Structure 1
Amino acid sequence: MATQSARLGACDPPARPAQPGKPARYISKYSEFVRREAEKNKSQWKTMGPAKVAVPSPNNFLQKHSKEPKLAPKKKEQEGEKLLPLSVPQRTYHPVIHIKQNFINKNALAVIRGEPKKPRHFCVDTRQGDKYLLEPSGLLPKYIRRKNYGVIPKYVTQRNEEMKREEEEYQASVLEQLKKKAMKIISEEERTNILKALKKNWEEINRVFLGLPIVTDTRYKKMHKEELELKLKQLEHDIAAIEKHETIYIANV
């Protein structure tokens, strides 16, 4: 019997492993709170059946073409009054255009609204077509068209004013020095007498000079002739100076 039971036990299938149980369904801890709040705030004014609304009057029945759009009525011109024409926009007016902001549209707007480029002036100097810009070449008379063309520069006027002021200061200093030295002015009578005396001396020395021998063969004759020439030159210089200046000052020594 033992052997038979052992054989029977060997033929039994192996026991299956125990499977884990299904987890409990998740229930929020706030479910009761939410349910109470929903019941508390429930609309109490709702009733059974359709809502009671105002019934339209039979006089306001739907008419034909009543829901089609209609144009605004035209304004009639009053007698003696005329409608003014719309003002023409100025040349500088640019309408506002709402377009997509991308670089293609921006470039197109810049070209449309931008000012046209002015043509550049060239100068062709050879028959092969060699050319160069006319403005930087110096051939275009653009400097004579300036507003300040022909006007004396400021630094020149300032320099002239400084020179004039220095000349006035110099003249003032000279007059002050003359006053300090107490120089005396020769009268017209004294000037005439001095001039006559100088001319008389010149005539006497000239007479002596003309009386010299033609041949100056000795050293004494040469020295005497040179001395007379120097005296004549000095007298001529003094006579010319007195005749040239009407006012003559003499320092008090």
Structure 2
Amino acid sequence: MASQSAQEGVGDPAPSPKQPGKTPRYVSKYRSLVKHEAKKNKSQWKTMGPAKVAVPSPSDYLLKHSKEPKLAPRKKEQDEKKLRPSTLPLRTYHPVIRISKDFVNKNAVAVITGEPKKPRPFCVDTRQGDKYLLEPSGLVPKYIKKKSYGVTPTYVTRRNEEIKREREEYEASILEELKKKAMKCLSDEEKTNILKALKKNWEALNNAFQRLPVLTDTRYKRMHKEELELKLRQLEHDIEAIEKHKDVYIANV
């Protein structure tokens, strides 16, 4: 019996695991309200056109000039006022009776006594005789008969005056600049004052030069000595130039 029960246990399939149940789908509580609002303002014919369209009858076909604007009909009173004259002639008015004339004799006398008609001048420009009127062609020198022929135009005179005025202003400005930059002659008093100042500077530099050490073993000492020598040489040159010349001019910088 035990062997039989063991055989039965070995041959039976294993029990399948229990599957969990599906969760219910989420449904919004406002679903019915949204559907109602969507259908509320929706018209079925807005996108596809009206359901029924009035078909025009065959008798109402489009006539020629039917869509052109038409004027309003005139009133009879206005037409009558326009047809009637504004003022009627008086009773004392007598129309002038024209006397018939002999136009044949008159025309004959006018032709006999009149001057012959002069031919119009033409210009022929081709061998075949192609011609055109000479007067409107531009070949007739009509311009010499004008009143303004040979007279300088007003715009030319005005432009020349403007150019002349601008040139005078430019020359005046240049002269003023030259006067500002002109050389100035020194007076005797200024000359003596400048000489005194230059000699005073030379004495101060010479004293500083005399106090220099005899041994110039460093670069700074050599540079300082060369600088003092250069300044002394320049002062000596200026003093000599002022004392040598009687008149000294300086530029206005």
Q: TM-score, normalised by structure 1?
A: 0.29
> In proportion to residue count, which structure has more helix?
2
